[in-house]
């Protein structure tokens, strides 16, 4: 929240809610963002051995359903180039 | 008669547990229920002063557990109600003087004679907290609409889930509706979104709370204060009644000007 936000009284409750959302996920599953990055690298490596994927478009996120959370991986596959591997 | 054991807990300290226990207890007693409160905050007892019973303590919960008195001897009767009692905490001992199985045994001994056994849990998630939730049939978590209180409440919900207790209820205390309306305080909906725990009470910030504590007369005993009404509603909901949540909205300056304009 910058100086201008303060000056014009931009509401702080949204910040609180967004920050808490992240804090609670990590408290509940005992996972931090560094671990998720490591996991992401491992997943990319494992999948790349078999399938052609673009590492930069892979998303690994913790999604919430009520009070439980699940790990969701979104891994787009590169279109078939026609060439034989 | 088979009492419900209700435990009020929070994780974070100072959010209003003791105030909540005192108010729910007098509200239930007012409705003719037989109620005994147990102060679970050994070493930092407070429920006695909030209920105005501090001058009548002879024995405490540790005396009962260690066999120096019978349970009846440690129960202080609240003279304002025929069937409201307090079992005070020990002030000079530490939490390890009582164990979770002591608490279960104590409550089992009381169940037959009461409608409600209400336990005031200490802050934290250590022994005193474990003692307090061990015998609980119903757990209520008190929190404030504020970062650390909500975070700690979530930790406590997780621990209660791990104990395989029934899902707890939530009381949101000290809501400053003017701050909520200008977007500077988490709303009830926000906190529900974050915690996903069923809300059983919404209590506004109310400076009468301090006056009530000064006098040793919980607000739910008497008529009008907003938080007193909120606590009486919580007591009714705990007994299974459907009671709508009270409107917290405060008039904005604009609303007030409009009212003046309309001549009221
Ligand atoms: N709704 C409220 N409005 C204003 N003050 C409150 C309210 N609820 C609690 N308080 C005050 O907050 C302080 C802590 O309350 P207490 O019930 O002792 O919390 P806890 O038992 O969780 O430590 C007390 O000074 C009490 O008077
Ligand atoms: Mg307390």
Per-residue pLDDT of B187-219, as tens digits, reads 999 999 999 999 999 999 999 999 999 999 999
Q: Are A25 and A37 members of one domain?
A: no
Q: Are A26 and A37 members of one domain?
A: no
Entry pTM: 0.89
Q: Are A17 and A51 members of one domain?
A: no
Chain A residues whose CB is inside 8 A of the B197 CB are 67
Q: Are A24 and A42 members of one domain?
A: no
Q: Are A54 and A83 members of one domain?
A: yes
Q: Are A64 and A36 members of one domain?
A: yes
Q: Are A49 and A20 members of one domain?
A: no
B21 pLDDT higher than 70: yes
Chain A residues whose CB is inside 8 A of the B196 CB are 66-67
ipTM of the shown complex: 0.86
Give the pLDDT confidence of B130-171 residue by residue, as tens digits.
Answer: 999 999 999 999 999 999 999 999 999 999 999 999 999 999
Counting ligands in written order, the one closest to the CA of B13 is: 1
Residues 138-157 of B with CB under 8 A from A: 146-147, 150-151, 154-155, 157
Q: Are A23 and A37 members of one domain?
A: no
> Would you state the structure tokens that stand for residue A73, as one six-digit string?
């991986």
| Domain total of chain A | 2
Instruction: Find the B75 Cα to ligand 2 centroid distance in Å.
Output: 19
Please enumerate in sequence order all residues whose Cβ is within 8 A of that of A4, keeping only pairs 6 or more positions apart, or say none. A10
A6 pLDDT higher than 60: no
Give the pLDDT confidence of A19-52 residue by residue, as tens digits.
Answer: 999 899 888 988 778 888 999 999 999 999 999 9
pLDDT at residue B100 in the model: 98
Verify whether the Cβ–Cβ distance B180 to A20 is below 8 Å: no
Identify the architecture of domain B4-261 in CATH: 3-Layer(aba) Sandwich (3.40)
B48 pLDDT higher than 80: yes
pLDDT band at residue B251 using 50, 70 and 90 as cut-offs: low
B13 pLDDT higher than 50: yes
If you average pLDDT over every residue of chain A, what do you get? Answer: 84
A1 pLDDT higher than 50: no
Q: Are A37 and A70 members of one domain?
A: yes
Closest residue in B to A66 (Cα–Cα): B196
A5 pLDDT higher than 70: no
Structural domain containing residue A19: 1-30
pLDDT at residue B150 in the model: 98
pLDDT at residue B60 in the model: 97
Q: Are A80 and A44 members of one domain?
A: yes
Give the pLDDT confidence of B30-43 residue by residue, as tens digits.
Answer: 999 999 999 999 99
Q: Are A42 and A57 members of one domain?
A: yes
**How far apart, in whole angstroms, are the C-alpha atoms of residue B45 and residue B31?**
26
If you average pLDDT over every residue of chain B, what do you get? Answer: 94
Q: Which candidate from B151, B185, B187 shows the least CB-CB separation from A27?
A: B151
What does the H/E/C string look like for chain B? CCCEEEEEECCCCCCCHHHHHHHHHHHHHHCCCCEEEEECCCCCCCHHHHCCCHHHCCCCHHHHHCCCCCHHHHCEECCCCCCEEEECCCCCCCHHHCCHHHHHHHHHHHHCCCCEEEEECCCCCCHHHHHHHCCCCEEEEEECCCHHHHHHHHHHHHHHHHCCCCCCEEEEEEECHHHHHCCCCCCHHHHHHHHCCEEEEEEECCCHHHHHHHHCCCHHHCCCCHHHHHHHHHHHHHCCCCCCCCCCCCCCHHHHHHHHHCCC
pLDDT band at residue B80 using 50, 70 and 90 as cut-offs: very high
Q: Quick one: DSSP state of residue A38?
A: H
Note whether B186 contacts A: Cβ–Cβ < 8 A.
yes
Verify whether the Cβ–Cβ distance A11 to B190 is below 8 Å: no
Q: Are A17 and A37 members of one domain?
A: no
Verify whether the Cβ–Cβ distance B183 to A28 is below 8 Å: no
């Amino acid at each position: 929240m910058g100086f201008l936000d303060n000056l014009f009284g931009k509401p702080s409750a949204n910040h609180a809610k967004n920050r808490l959302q992240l804090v609670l996920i990590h408290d509940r599953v005992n996972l931090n963002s560094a671990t998720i990055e490591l996991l992401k690298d491992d997943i990319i490596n494992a999948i790349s051995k078999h399938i052609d994927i673009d590492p930069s478009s892979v998303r690994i996120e913790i999604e919430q359903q009520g009070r439980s959370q699940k790990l969701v991986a979104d891994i787009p596959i590169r279109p078939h180039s026609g060439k034989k591997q | 008669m088979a009492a419900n054991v209700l435990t009020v807990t929070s994780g974070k300290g100072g959010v209003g547990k003791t105030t909540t226990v005192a108010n729910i207890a007098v509200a239930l007693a007012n409705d003719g229920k037989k109620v005994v409160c147990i102060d679970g905050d050994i070493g930092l007892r407070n429920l006695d002063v909030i209920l105005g019973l501090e001058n009548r303590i002879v024995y405490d919960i540790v005396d009962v557990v260690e066999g120096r008195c019978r349970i009846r001897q440690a129960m202080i009767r609240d003279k304002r109600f025929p069937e409201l009692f307090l079992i005070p905490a020990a002030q000079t001992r530490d939490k390890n003087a009582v164990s979770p199985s002591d608490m279960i045994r104590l409550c089992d001994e009381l169940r037959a004679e009461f409608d409600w056994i209400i336990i005031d849990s200490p802050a934290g998630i250590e022994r005193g907290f474990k003692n307090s939730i061990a015998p609980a049939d119903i757990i209520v978590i008190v929190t404030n609409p504020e970062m650390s209180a909500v975070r700690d409440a979530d930790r406590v919900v997780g621990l209660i889930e791990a104990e395989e207790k029934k899902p707890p209820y939530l009381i949101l205390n000290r809501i400053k509706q003017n701050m909520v309306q200008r977007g500077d305080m988490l709303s009830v909906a926000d906190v529900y979104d974050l915690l996903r725990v069923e809300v059983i009470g919404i209590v506004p910030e109310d400076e009468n709370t301090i006056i009530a504590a000064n006098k040793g007369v919980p607000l739910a005993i008497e008529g009008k204060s907003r938080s007193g009404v909120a606590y009486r509603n919580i007591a009714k909901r705990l007994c299974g009644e459907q009671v709508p949540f009270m409107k917290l909205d405060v008039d904005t300056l604009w609303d007030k000007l409009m009212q003046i304009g309309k001549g009221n």
